[in-house]
Structure 1
Amino acid sequence: MIIPAPSRTRPGTGTFALGPDTPLHVPDPELAPVAAVLREQLAPATGCHFPPGRGGIELALDAGLGAETYQLTVAADGIRIAGGDAAGVFYGVQSLRQLLPPQTFRRAPLSAGPVLVGCTEIEDRPRFGWRGVLLDVARHFFTKRDVLRMIDLMALHKLNVLHLHLTDDQGWRLEIKRYPRLTEAGCWRHESQQGWDPGGDGRPHGGYYTQDDIREIVAHAATRHVTVIPEVDVPGHTQAAITAYPELGNTGEQLQVATGWGVGTRVLNVSDATLDFVRNVFDEVVELFPGTLIGVGGDECPKEEWKASEAAQARMAALGLRNEDELQSWFIGQVSDHLATRGRRLLGWDEILEGGLPPGATVASWRDHHGAVKAARAGHDVITSPAREVYLDYRQSASPDEPVPVGTVLPIEEVYAFEPVPEELAGTQAEERVLGAQCGLWTEAIDNVRVLDFQAFPRMSAFAETVWSSADRDAASFMTRLTEHHLPRLDALDVEYRPLDGPHPWQRRPGVRGRPVEMADYLAGVAHDTRNIR
């Protein structure tokens, strides 16, 4: 019944009845937030008030269990969830939810009477510590409400890292008090490209998160044991920032926030003033996001402007750099050094390998697995996120009914077959450098939360099992659990997922051009020209 599949399950006999007066016993104050979430998630549809007391549900810490590990026991006389830490107990609560009928995922009871839970014993622990989802809010903005909802859905699936892609050529989404024009001018564009049709839709698009919005998102995520990792992309993907502050660019001309997709040629210049700007921005970022890692992007940075810039060439000569790749590496190194003074470490995409990695950098490898292998062998932590295997904005079949088809075909079966540890690292000492994996939701063709649901689910449910459960997974069992139990839960939660047999009529987008990539083109793009892939 449970997704992701637990490490071990032993069915029992009999049932426990959840009723209006079922007590909740929480002896350890550290678990009070978990108890609050349990009440929030279970009370509305079960009618249970969970008053304090014994003989019902007990939440407990157990020093003999590891981090994020839990034991869930349902007996006829009560339910006990023990965890090695608060996160483990929280995940036990999420498993308990999935032992209940799908109707308990609704916001009100559908019937009177107790809710029966089958007796069972579960022991469970995650395979990886990093179980992430990237959400791109720069190409299309998603409201705070949408982000909070995504965090709740991640937590149900025991996913624990939300990587927020906050800035790009098409919009700057984070309030920076020292530079107000980033959100006054950089957070909106006058229109958007519809799919990959030529021209724009004539409709202004924008939005941003205030710093208080971010504090709320981070705090809400913490109650669900989700860490929010920000990404402020530099030195490429910065046209929105340069629109707000033209002096950051290489030409000085007044730009506009990009309205189309693809990789723009506008990049930050490498002056001391621009580096000060970047440092000041990240100073505010680290005050908002408490996680150790701070994303700096570093991907898809065209070098044409630097090649034509006398100032950039003079900087290269003064530093003794051989080429523009080394100039980008130097730039990223300056950011890394600054983050280190704030007690943080840099997270970047695998392009930051090209001119040499700064010490302590973590690499998210998206262009297949070669970046992960190279970085891990060099002693760097890595997160695997190969586009062909876990980019959930990619089309789900080759059918013409798929809306705005992007990338190569990525059905749910292939997401489930994803192996987070590259074959070249398996069984080697460098395998320990693989922190885990994350799936990606890039939003060029995802322009609202209904489309986000369609692209994410149920493939995100499959991804969750690849990063939580053991490497020896059972695809047939997963599909049975998905169809018989989990899709009804998503229905109850009003998640507009893609049906397994194809989109509903209202989920199609006839006449809107996509950017499908065939396998041969994909492999060539990974090796040579990444611009055609992401």
Structure 2
Amino acid sequence: MTSLTHLIPAAQSVTTRGDETFVLDEDTTLTASPGLGGEERWLRMTLQAATGLPLREGVPGPRGGAADNSIGLHHDPSLPSEGYRITIRDNRTLIGSADTAGAFWGAQTLRQLLGPDAHRRALLRPTRWELPEAEIRDRPRFRWRGLLLDVARHFMPKDGVLRYLDLMAAHKLNVLHLHLTDDQGWRVEIKRHPKLTGIASWRPRTKRGHRASPLWVETPHGGYYTQDDIREIVAYAADRHITVVPEIDVPGHSQAAIAAYPELGNTDVIDTTALTVWDTWGISPNVLAPGDTTLRFYEGVFEEILDLFPSEFIHVGGDECAKDQWRRSPSAQARIKDLGLAGEDGLQSWFIGHFDRWLSARGRRLIGWDEILEGGPAPGAAVSSWRGRAGGIAAARAGHDVVMCPEQQVYLDHRQAEGDDEPVPIGYVRTLEDVYRFEPVPPELTAEQARHVLGTQANVWTEAMEDQARVDYQTFPRLAAFAEVAWSALAAPGERDFVDFERRMTVHYARLDALGVGYRPPDGPKPWQKRPGVLGRPLDGPPPPG
């Protein structure tokens, strides 16, 4: 049946049980075992909105199972973490799981089984909602199934972030990496440093298109999340079994912070009081000074960040730190000498290592981009491998945990086709099929080393994405392909059936339509999705080795 054979991401196994169906009607009830009340409420609220059915609270059947004409959520300790089993037969549906996350992912699958209109909010109400008799068993391949949203380059209002959390949940993704600070803006309220939002959250103007474009928007751009906004985002994510990992970028990508607090910069090299929040793209030469003033300032920042984000991991960036100012700075050179460090790379390693120890002492773990390997990795650090897979391989071999997110495969700001119609093309061509065939675990790793691959993440950088429509276009449908890579363990990458995936996408596009996602159509951009005259980066040719 259509609903069984069009699941995305694909389930581990789907077994049909006959031609009968379970029909939802005015008398259908919804029940849950103790401890699954949150998942029951989400499912009831979602299905009530789509179907118009009351789905009243029912009484569990024998041994905790579903009663007649009911949907039941129950504990099944025999299942793996985040796994679930859906059994549809005898006029009832039962979702079994070992934990609350598994119950939630099972509820997401149940929603897909009801058809695309189950993703709407009461706009369309067919007279008949039915589920085919079947058994579905499923579990995730990776514990880290992530999406990075860059809200620093172009600010995404809170409601947009909540919307993306719902879209992530619909695709069984469970980590939102929120890129909160960069040269072009600071997006989180820090009460002890009010200029970070008073000054650093707004830039005087912004580039339209990539840095090659001559077009500017001559009005300030910015915004930030209050601490209450962040608490709301984190709680909303937790209800959907998504962890929010904040990124506070140090010691590079920090011009916005220096513009607000000039003492954070290399004052013995440049006049930092003349800096403003950066209004173009690329790598700024203005980086943090490696002194005690900077360390104490960012310790204060991270103290407030830890109060807001309960995540195990805290991301500290560490990428693309231009070191010319350190080379010319007498105070930076004196610190290198006093600490016996191996040059500027060693200085960055010392800087990151300080916060690795600081976070570890507070029960958290540091994660950073693969540049933190230069000069020697901090002992407890995990690595986001973005410059290909080499950094991830080196980190895993050294016993460090890794999240694989190489730009050559899963940077969703990169163009989706070679055609001139693609809006603001950036970087390499990465088609839907390219993303679908991405393999997060490098074959060079031994089985023991591969255990350090926590999972994978798709990154959405927003230099050329100024609004929700642009983010949707670049992110979808490729995020659906990525979600299957992150969740499903059906076949080796060379054996993945892209033709079958395309077949399943024919129904999934209708789900995305119902959810209001402005994805890139399979045959190319619609007229309103093109942006003639807005320049992007020239086609880069073949990607470097991964």
* TM bucket normalised to smaller: over 0.9
Contact 1:4 1:461 in 2 (8 A): yes
C-alpha distance in structure 1 between counterparts of 2:128 and 2:54, whole Å: 12
- Do 2:367 and 2:382's aligned partners in 1 also have CA atoms closer than 8 Å? yes
Letter in 1 for 2:115: P
C-alpha deviations, 1:77-114, integer Å up to 9, x for none? 10000011000010000000110121121111523523
Distance in structure 2 (CA, Å) of the matches to 1:288 and 1:499: 38
Q: Counterparts in 2 of 1:436-515, with a 5 A limit?
A: 436-470=455-489, 472=491, 473-483=496-506, 485-515=507-537
1:15 lines up with 2:34 in the alignment: no
Runs of 4 or more off by more than 6 Å in structure 1?
none
Contact 1:171 1:257 (8 Å CA) reproduced: yes
Match of 1:277 among 261, 273, 297: 297
- One-letter identity of the residue aligned with 1:210: T
Q: Which residue is 2:226 aligned to?
A: 210
Deviations 1:311-332 (A, max 9, x none): 0000001001121000000000
Match for 1:243 among 245, 254, 259? Answer: 259
SS of residue matched to 1:455: helix
What is the rounded CA distance, in whole Å, between the counterparts of 2:320 and 2:490 in structure 1? 32
Aligned to 2:37: 32
User: What are the superposed Cα offsets for residues 474-497 of structure 1, whole Å, 9 maximum, x if unpaired?
Assistant: 2111110001x1000110111110
Query: Could you tell me how far apart the structure 1 residues matched to 2:424 and 2:96 are?
Result: 46
The TM-score normalised by the length of structure 2 is 0.94
**What SS does structure 2 have at the residue aligned with 1:515?**
coil
Q: Matched residues in 1 for 2:42 and 2:123: separation?
A: 18
Q: Residues 52 and 125 of structure 2 are in contact (CA less than 8 Å); yes or no, is this contact kept in structure 1? A: no
Q: Distance in 1 between matches of 2:447 and 2:362?
A: 33
TM-score, L = length of structure 1: 0.96
Measured in 1, the distance between the counterparts of 2:7 and 2:134 equals: 12
Structure 1 residue 428: Cα displacement: 3.0
Contact 1:9 1:123 in 2 (8 A): yes
State how many pairs are aligned: 521
Q: Is the contact between residue 66 and residue 84 of structure 1 (CA under 8 Å) also seen in structure 2?
A: yes
Match of 2:272 in 1: 253
Please state how far the C-alpha of 1:420 moved relative to its aligned partner: 0.6
Aligned residue in 2 for 1:6: 11
CA deviation map 1:181-229 (0-9, x unaligned): 0000000111111113135221210000001100000000001000000
Aligned-residue offset at 1:516: 3.4
Do the aligned partners of 2:342 and 2:375 also contact (CA within 8 Å) in 1? no
For residues 45-101 of structure 1, the C-alpha deviation after alignment (integer angstroms, 9 at most, x for no partner) is 211222111320000111111100100011141000001100001000000011012
Alignment of structure 1 residues 60-99 onto 2, 5 Å: 60-99=74-113
1: CA distance, partners of 2:346 / 2:490: 38
The offset of 1:514, in angstroms, is 0.3
Partner of 1:360: 380
Query: Counterpart of 1:265 in structure 2: which amino acid?
Result: P
Q: Deviations over 1:329-386 (max 9, x none)?
A: 0000111111112110101000000111111100000000000000000000000000
Mapped contact 2:253–2:320 kept (Cα < 8 A): yes
Shift of residue 259, structure 1, vs aligned partner:
0.5
Partners of 1:21 and 1:268 lie apart in 2 by 63
Partner of residue 201 from structure 1, selected from 217, 230, 234 = 217
Q: Distance in 2 between matches of 1:434 and 1:469?
A: 15
Residue 3 (structure 2) aligns with: none
User: What is the one-letter code of the residue matched to 1:339?
Assistant: L
Q: 2:154 aligns with which of 126, 132, 140?
A: 140
Residue by residue, what CA displacement relative to the aligned partner does 1:465-517 show, whole Å, maximum 9, x if unpaired? Answer: 0011115132111110001x100011011111000110000000101000134
Distance 1:248 1:20 in 2: 63
Q: Partner residue of 1:529?
A: none
1:185-200 alignment to 2 at 5 Å?
185-196=199-210, 197-198=213-214, 200=216
Letter in 1 for 2:89: A
**Contact map agreement 1:20 1:114 (CA 8 A) in 2:** no
1:81-160 to 2 correspondences below 5 Å? 81-111=95-125, 113-160=127-174
Task: Give the match's secondary structure for 2:216.
Answer: coil
For residues 19 and 277 of structure 1, the distance between their equivalents in structure 2, rounded to whole angstroms, comes to 59
Q: Which runs of 5+ in 2 are unaligned?
A: 1-5, 59-66
Q: Partner amino acid for 1:25?
A: T
Match for residue 62 of structure 2? none
CA distance in 1, matches of 2:107, 2:521: 27
Partner amino acid, structure 1, of 2:209 = G
Give % identity: 54
Specify the code of the residue in structure 1 equivalent to 2:298.
V
Cross-structure match for 2:431 = 411
The question of whether the paired residues in 1 share the 8 Å contact of 2:21 and 2:89 is answered with yes
Aligned counterparts of 2:287 and 2:123: Cα–Cα separation in 1: 54
What one-letter code is carried by the residue in structure 1 that aligns with 2:29?
A: P
SS at match of 1:523: coil
Tell me if 1:292 matches 2:306: no
Residue 519 of structure 1: how far off its partner (Å): 3.1
1:431 matched residue in structure 2: 450
**Mapping 1:158-197, distance limit 5 Å:** 158-196=172-210, 197=213
Letter in 1 for 2:497: D
Q: Deviations over 1:127-175 (max 9, x none)?
A: 1111000000000000110000000000010000000000000000000
